[in-house]
Chain A
Amino acid sequence: MNAKVDHREHPPLTKRGLALLLLALGAAAAPHATHLPWPIILLALACGAWRWKAATAGWPFPGGLLRAVLAVCGCAAVAWSWGTVFGRDPGTALLVTMLALKLLEVRTYRDAMLILFLGCFLVVVMAFHSQEIPAALALIAALVLAVCAMIELNARDHAPIGHPPLRRAISMLAWATPAMMIMFMLFPRLPTPLWGLPSDAYGGATGLAETMSPGGISHLAGSDAVAFRVQFDGRIPSAEMLYWRGPVLWHTDGRTWSAASDQRAPVTRATPDFEPRGAAMSYRVTLEPSRQRWLFALDLPYTAPPGAAFTEDAMLLSEQPIREQHHYRVTSFASYRTGQLSAAERSRALQLPRTNPRTVALGRSWGETAARPEDVLRRALAHFRGEPFHYTLSPPLLQSSDPVDEFLFRSRRGFCEHYAAAFTVLMRAAGIPARVVTGYQGGEINSVGDYLVVRQRDAHAWAEVWLPEEGWTRVDPTAAVAPERIERGSAELRERGPFGMRSALRAGALGELVHRAQQSWDALSVRWNSWFLAYGPELQRAVLGRFGLRTWLAMVSAMVGMTLLILMLVLIVRRRSTAMMDPVQVAYRRFRRKLARRGVDAAPAEGPMVFAERARLLRPELAGDIELVTQLYVTMRYGNQRNAADVARLRRAVARFRP
Chain B
Amino acid sequence: MPFSLVTLPHRLQRWLNIDRRGDRARLDEAVTLGYKRIFILPTPQGLLFGAMTVVMLIGAANYNNNLAFLLTFLLIATGLVGLVRTYQNIAGITLRPARCPPVFCGETARFDIAVDAGTQPRRAVGLRRGTAASAWFDSTARTITVEAPAENRGTLELGRLLVHTSYPLGLFRAKAYLHYHCAIIVYPRPAPARDPRRDNRHDQDPGANDFIGHRAWAAGDPPRHVDWKAAARSGVMLNKQFGGDDRAERWLDWDEHRGFSTEERLSRLCREVLEAEAAGLRYALRLPGTSIGPGTGGAQRNRCLRALALFGAA
- Count of interface residues, chain A, beta-carbon cutoff 8 Å: 89
B residues near A117, Cβ cutoff 8 Å: 45, 48-49, 52
A595 interface residue per 8 A CB criterion: no
If A110-B45, A121-B56, A161-B121 touch, whether A567 touches B80 (CB-CB below 8 Å) is: yes
A residues near B136, Cβ cutoff 8 Å: 156-157
Interface size class of B (residues with CB under 8 A): 35 or more
Query: How far is B2's CA from A130's CA once the two chains are assembled, in angstroms?
Result: 46
A2–B131 CB distance below 8 A:
yes
What is the 8 Å Cβ interface bit string for chain B, positions 39-51, against chain A (1 contact, 0 not)? 0000111001100
B167–A571 CB distance below 8 A:
no
Which one of A44-52, A131-139, A328-336 is at the interface?
A131-139
A61 interface residue per 8 A CB criterion: no
A residues near B70, Cβ cutoff 8 Å: 127, 136, 180, 184, 532
Query: How far is B64's CA from A200's CA once the two chains are assembled, in angstroms?
Result: 15
What are 17 A-B contacts defined by CB distance under 8 Å?
A: A3-B175, A5-B173, A114-B48, A121-B52, A136-B67, A150-B169, A161-B139, A162-B121, A173-B74, A176-B74, A179-B77, A193-B63, A197-B63, A535-B66, A567-B80, A581-B119, A596-B10
A578 interface residue per 8 A CB criterion: yes
A265 interface residue per 8 A CB criterion: no
Which one of A63-71, A376-384, A601-609 is at the interface?
A601-609
A113–B170 CB distance below 8 A:
yes
Which one of B81-89, B200-208, B235-243, B272-280 is at the interface?
B81-89
B123–A575 CB distance below 8 A:
no
CB-contacts of B1-20 with A (<8 A): 1-4, 6-7, 10, 14, 17-18
A-B Cβ contacts below 8 A, count: 227
B56–A604 CB distance below 8 A:
no
What is the 8 Å Cβ interface bit string for chain B, positions 125-141, against chain A (1 contact, 0 not)? 01000110110101110
A604–B14 CB distance below 8 A:
yes
Residues of B within 8 A of A (CB): 1-4, 6-7, 10, 14, 17-18, 29-32, 43-45, 48-49, 52, 55-78, 80-85, 87-88, 94, 96, 116, 119-124, 126, 130-131, 133-134, 136, 138-140, 142, 160, 162, 164, 166-170, 173, 175, 177
CB-contacts of A103-127 with B (<8 A): 109-110, 113-114, 117, 120-121, 123-124, 127
B77–A183 CB distance below 8 A:
yes
CB-contacts of A560-586 with B (<8 A): 563, 567, 570-572, 574-576, 578-582, 585
Query: How far is B164's CA from A2's CA once the two chains are assembled, in angstroms?
Result: 13
Residues of A within 8 A of B (CB): 1-3, 5, 8-9, 11, 109-110, 113-114, 117, 120-121, 123-124, 127-128, 130-131, 135-136, 139-140, 143, 147, 150-151, 153-157, 159-163, 168, 172-173, 175-180, 183-184, 187, 189-190, 193-195, 197, 201-202, 324, 532-533, 535-537, 563, 567, 570-572, 574-576, 578-582, 585, 589, 592-593, 596, 601-602, 604-607, 638
A residues near B72, Cβ cutoff 8 Å: 124
A58 to chain B, nearest CB (A): 27
A604–B71 CB distance below 8 A:
no
B49–A139 CB distance below 8 A:
no
Name the CB-closest residue of B to A139.
B71
Query: How far is B138's CA from A604's CA once the two chains are assembled, in angstroms?
Result: 22
B residues near A155, Cβ cutoff 8 Å: 123-124, 167-168
B10–A189 CB distance below 8 A:
no
B160–A120 CB distance below 8 A:
no
Please indicate which of the listed interface residues B121, B131, B134 has the most CB atoms of chain A within 10 Å of its own CB. Answer: B121
B45–A161 CB distance below 8 A:
no
